[in-house]
Amino acid sequence: MKQYLVKPDSTVKLSKWDPNDTGDFKGGKKEGQAEIRKLNAKLESLQELLFAEHKHKVLVVFQAMDTGGKDGTIRRVFDGVNPAGVRVASFKAPTSEQLDHDFLWRIHKETPGNGEMVIFNRSHYEDVLIVRVHDLVPKKVWSKRFDQINEFERMLAENGTTILKFYLHIDLDEQKERLQARLDDSSKHWKFRLGDLAERKRWPEYMNAYEDVLNKTSTDHAPWYIVPANRKWYRDLVISSVLVDTLEGLKMKYPESEENLDGVFIE
Ligand code: ATP
Ligand code: MG
């Protein structure tokens, strides 16, 4: 899955990244889903190990355009993982209290502690995406945020946080289909916002803003992955693989008992 990793200081052009890509995976959807189930089982035990060892912190960031599939990804990739050890933090438009503070104030409070895995559904990156596209703060303010984000994430990493960031890459046609599906099915109307259509018109501006994010904030300690996301099963497969590989790389161990259990006999 290394082909989806954004190297530090890259010059990514999103138009060159195929959202329909299914990589080297030879099987189709069925085989992909079988693979995901295996990875799910591994993720479940790795999460238990993370909790038991109580040493590492794990932060998973999801960013995408509307209908990009953040919610579905979270539902499927973390299916079966013990909800007691995983927490989802969703970041909506900031409240007035949050706006009275620096943009990382509300973010820092949600970061994981030892043994915890936290999923960000949207994140501090909104502060250089929607905020930039809609001119919510002047350029001289948002342009400094790339460095501020890098420093913040470095601090988290130096304090034991493993950070993974996923941009779910769909294209305009796929978004149209997904919006249309929401419109056609009354049980999906709650997900449809007229505002999403206005955002859709600004697609090129968003792509431009995303390219800056990917090029300026993919670091060794907090890398971005560009996930081909038109095909949901492949999207889930890529993310599950990266998560499992990364957690296995932590070489976690179950802690030994603090007491001597030799010869303990239960009557
Ligand atoms: P879905 O993708 O399923 O529609 P959602 O994450 O879009 O879910 P919504 O309630 O529709 O949830 O949208 C949340 C909105 O909050 C998004 O438009 C997002 O851009 C906006 N938002 C998040 N963070 C900020 C921020 N810092 N400043 C301004 N707007 C923000
Ligand atoms: Mg929305």
- Model confidence band, residue 112 (pLDDT cutoffs 50, 70, 90): very high
The whole-angstrom separation of Cα 2 and Cα 154 is 21
Q: Where are the extended beta strands (E) located within the chain? A: 57-64, 86-90, 117-121, 161-169, 224-228
- Model confidence band, residue 265 (pLDDT cutoffs 50, 70, 90): very high
State which H helix or E strand residue 132 sits in. Answer: helix 130-133
Residue 195 CA: nearest ligand 1 atom is 18
Check residue 2 and report its DSSP letter.
Answer: G
pTM score, whole prediction: 0.96
Pocket test for ligand 1, best of 73, 130, 137, 193 (most atoms within 8 A of CB): 130
Place of tokens 């294209």: 171
Q: Give the closest ligand to the alpha carbon of residue 197.
A: 2
Q: What is the pLDDT of residues 113-159, one digit of tens each?
A: 999 999 999 999 999 999 999 999 999 999 999 999 999 999 999 99
Residue 68 CA: nearest ligand 1 atom is 2
Pocket test for ligand 1, best of 70, 92, 119 (most atoms within 8 A of CB): 92
Q: Which of 20, 65, 25, 24 is nearest to 167 (CA)?
A: 65
Residue 129 CA: nearest ligand 1 atom is 20
Instruction: Determine what percent of the chain is predicted with pLDDT higher than 90.
Output: 95
Check residue 186 and report its DSSP letter.
Answer: G
β pairing state of 224-228 and 117-121: unpaired
Q: Using CA of residue 254, residue 255, residue 257, residue 262, what is the dihedral sign?
A: positive
Q: What is the pLDDT of residues 57-99, one digit of tens each?
A: 999 999 999 999 999 999 999 998 998 889 999 999 999 999 9
Distance, CA 196 to ligand 2 centroid (Å)? 6
The whole-angstrom separation of Cα 202 and Cα 192 is 17
| Distances 188 to 65, 66, 137, 142 between C-alpha atoms, Å | 18, 14, 33, 34
Give the burial class of 170: count Cβ atoms within 10 A of its Cβ; 0-12 exposed, 13-18 middle, 19 or more buried. Answer: buried
Two tokens, residue 167: 């941009």
Give ligand 1 pocket residues (Cβ under 6 A): 66, 70-71, 91-94, 122, 126-127, 130-131, 136, 191, 193
Q: Give the closest ligand to the alpha carbon of residue 64.
A: 1
